[in-house]
Structure 1
Amino acid sequence: MGRKPRNTATMKQVAERAGVSQATVSLVLNNVGGSRVNEATRQRVMDTVEELGYRTNAFAKSLRSGESGMIGFISDEVASSPFAGELLKGAQQLAWETGNVILSVDTFNEPDLEAAAIDMMLSYRVKGVVYASMYHRVLDLPAGLEAVPTVVVNAQERSRRVASVFPDEEAGGYAATRQLIEAGHTRIAMINIQPEDSDLPAGIGRLAGYRRALSEAGIVDHPELVRYGGGVVEDGLALTLDLFDLDEPPTAIFCGNDRTAWGAYRALESRGLRVPEDCSIVGFDNHAMLAPILDPGLSTIELPYEQMARAGIELLLSGSAQEPTSNPIECVPILRGSVADAKVHA
């Protein structure tokens, strides 16, 4: 036999058991400031609420107040992706800390599903919406979100109507290259994660950071040391082999993501070479299922998923989401064992 559902207590039952009016119960549960409910009565009501298992009707409360205590989280594939799941985690944690909950929907880039998700968010009277992307790109805000405070996370909103929170790609590329420069390397290659003519911010920013670090250090930016891949292991392998066919191979490689770095490891191994003794490697992403597991562990730059989501929620709750601000978030270096001093290569 199935479990018999528990009866739901009503406010009237709480009032009768506590010996007070329903108005008094409402004042206590809604923590109305300035009410004349003394501490003993307030405690008696709360004890009765606990005894009867009373739960407030959140939907009815939202109709009265115009707020549901919910924050919408609409994404393409974030919630279903272990790689970017930290975005949703960060949003959930800060929402909970501030007395809110997250209402999350993955749309899988389907316009009809996205439109339905927006309608649902509006019907629930969410305080605002986090519109999140699986990868850093420039996007157009969908119709319907102009009716509710919205912040774009892990992307940049093209028309600059709302606030955008995204990784500081250039600073991350700079930090990655500085790791290699500070280890004494001067012949530093980069394998990017997108074609040379791509307009995606990630590859553009990381390459700009690489070039800025070289320039500040007085190191010549040799065009033959820059390669353009697609961010996959196979490209990292092929392009590293290509670099090591040069008359003067690099002593260090900045790989535009961790999958590319894995390919670089495999390429060096196929030539009988070792990381970092024969070539130092730095990646980008801090992919939890890859970077710490490579041997040696991969020094990399961490994408700030959780921090971006928290920043987005803070903008919503502070009322600043509708200000068209750009909010780059620092990408922090994670140091492991894939970088050695350049003198090892001498």
Structure 2
Amino acid sequence: MSPRVRISDVARRAGVAPSTVSAVLNEVSGARVKDSTRERVRQAADELGYAPNALARGLRTRRSGTLAFISDVIATTPYAGQLIQGAQDTAWAAGHVLMVVNTGGDPAIESRALAVLRQQQVAGVLWATMSHRVVPAPVPPHGTPLVLLDAQDGTGAVPSVIPDEEAGARAAVAELADHGHRRIGFVLDREDSPASDGRTAGYRAALAERGLPVEDALVARARSCSAGGEEAAGVLLDRPHPPTAIFAFTDQMAVGVYHAAAARGLRIPEDLSVVGFDDLAVLAQELRPGLSSIALPHYAMGQTAAATLLRLVEDPHAEVPAVQRVRTRVVRRGSVGPAPSA
């Protein structure tokens, strides 16, 4: 094993004092070092493979090069991978590592996690939830920046990064309307949340923009699961004037729409078109036909949240948006077709 490269080795290679190397590589504020000297020090460090001691730097600054990613249950859901990956890639590019803590929604574990983070002197905290909703903002260690991910605190006091629910619903309705559908139903979660509010607003706005009927009879609410989707779709399809297309609040509810259609002898997309929301590959790609869906931008949300947090780590007084909405996109498969003529 080759011997560890020390700061004195870099100083000798660059022809400067060890204190100068420390000031350059640790980016000490106010250090008076010429640009040419800085470049020489960095080149020497690269040639020797020297890296600053992150632990020692953390003791001086009282902050480590670590960001914490704390979630209720998101780390055990299909959504987690891209959300965490986006945050991790952004943190890593800035010289930080990401520590992931899954609390399972247990207040005792959340409290313990915050205590551990205080001991570890993390630079900042990302607090993520399983689905877009309002949550009481946690209290991180004093002076530690906090950003909410896929959540809001209801006051706007804590910066948050969320999907653009309304724009996603508008895109779903547009996809159906562009195929000639004029009666577009909506199966919706029975629980109120920022997600259901945003998607409802987008659904109604998109219909109104196209001069299509905005009728309470075209909306049915149930549990956000396949059974709930089947129940709500059944209510719509059994009406005297049923919709020719259905927008589902989630892909799981869309699975129920498929079941309700099959039970009534309806073919997708010949007799009924369907668009979901989430783009859960394990569901959307396996249905026959494949489900067209609105993809939640998990990777981009993780990137945006981490970038916002890093900005606050660098400058606690930096002005950042109270709420940042990240755009969704339409993923087209085989569940949307022309509106039936009769």
Indicate whether the TM-score tops 0.5: yes
What are the equivalent positions in structure 2 for 1:82-161 lying under 5 Å apart?
82-144=78-140, 147-161=143-157
User: TM-score, normalised on structure 1?
Assistant: 0.85
CA distance in structure 1 between the partners assigned to 2:287 and 2:333 by the alignment:
10
Is the 8 Å Cα contact of residues 140 and 159 (structure 1) preserved in structure 2? no
- Deviations for 1:306-339, whole angstroms, at most 9, x for unmatched residues? 1112111221222377756121221212122211
Query: Is the Cα contact below 8 Å between 1:251 and 1:345 reproduced in 2?
Result: no
Closer/same/farther in 2, CA of residues 290 and 171 from structure 1, 3 Å limit: same
Q: Is the 8 A contact 1:162 1:321 kept in 2?
A: no
1:120-175 Cα deviation digits (max 9, x unpaired): 22333322211111111111112335631111110111232221111121221121
Q: For 1:39-93, what per-residue CA distance to the aligned partner results, in whole angstroms no more than 9, with x for missing partners? A: 888766655x54xxx7643211211234322212111122232223321111001
Structure 1 CA distance for aligned equivalents of residues 341 and 328 of structure 2: 29
- Contact 1:176–1:254 (CA under 8 A) maintained in structure 2: yes
Structure 2 counterpart of 1:191: 187
Partner of 2:4: 9
Partner of 1:229: 222
CA distance in structure 2 between the partners assigned to 1:174 and 1:167 by the alignment: 13
Q: Which residue of 2 aligns with 1:162?
A: 158
The alpha carbon displacement at 1:37 in A equals: 5.9
Aligned-pair RMSD on alpha carbons?
2.9
Alpha-carbon contact 1:291-1:297 (below 8 Å) kept: yes
Match of 2:337 in 1: 340
Seen in structure 2, the aligned counterparts of structure 1 residues 123 and 214 have a Cα distance that, compared at 3 Å, is same
Separation of aligned partners in 2, 1:261 and 1:118: 38
Match of 1:207 among 200, 206, 229: 200
Q: Deviations over 1:164-203 (max 9, x none)?
A: 111121221121111111211111111002x2xx331111
Single out whichever of 248-257 and 55-64 deviates more from structure 2. Answer: 55-64
Q: SS at 1:114's partner residue?
A: helix
Determine whether 1:80 maps to 2:76.
yes
Shift of 1:9: 3.4
Q: Distance in 2 between matches of 1:209 and 1:38?
A: 53
Q: Which amino acid aligns with 2:171?
A: A
Q: 1:162, 1:322 within 8 Å by CA — same for their partners in 2?
A: no
* Identity %, equivalent residues: 40
In the other structure, the counterpart of 1:293 is 286
Distance 1:313 1:290 in 2: 29
Return the alpha-carbon distance in structure 1 between the equivalents of residues 229 and 54 of structure 2: 52
**Corresponding residue number in structure 1 for 2:175:** 179
Q: 1:8 to 1:178 in 2, by over 3 A?
A: same
CA distance in 2, matches of 1:42, 1:170: 48
Structure 1 position 283, deviation (Å): 0.5
Verify the 8 A CA contact 2:10 2:41 in the aligned structure 1.
no
Q: Using the alignment, how far apart are the partners of 2:231 and 2:87 within structure 1?
A: 38
Tell me what 1:3 maps to. Answer: none
Contact 1:78–1:106 (CA under 8 A) maintained in structure 2 = yes
Give the Cα separation in 1 of the matches to 2:122 and 2:41. 33
Question: Normalising to structure 2: TM-score of the pair?
Answer: 0.86
Work out which of the residue numbers 252, 265, 269 in structure 2 matches 1:276.
269
Structure 1, unaligned runs of 5 or more: 1-5
Distance 1:19 1:84, change over 3 A: closer
Q: Which amino acid aligns with 1:163?
A: P
CA contact under 8 A between 2:168 and 2:294: conserved in structure 1?
Answer: yes
Q: 2:327 maps to which residue?
A: 330
Matches of 2:85 and 2:261 in 1, distance apart? 36
Structure 2: gaps spanning 5 or more residues = none
